[in-house]
Amino acid sequence: MLERVAYDLAGGRATARQCAETAVVLERVARQLREHAAAVSFGGGAVDGVVDAGVLGDEGGGAR
């Protein structure tokens, strides 16, 4: 998916829908990466891919 969007963007062929959908996916991935990084940094952990709610405190929002 990302490769296709990258080529379409570079070629000026990306649609508004394609860009919006890709942005949603990237935002979700970024959130998961931040949560994982926080869990690893602060000694918390992930269970089945979900970060322990107490690891991130109030700002991170915990597991979703």
Per-residue pLDDT, 41: 86
pLDDT tens, 9-39?
999 999 999 999 999 999 999 999 999 999 8
Residue 44 has pLDDT above 80, yes or no: no
Residues 6+ apart with CB under 8 A from 60: 34, 35, 38, 51
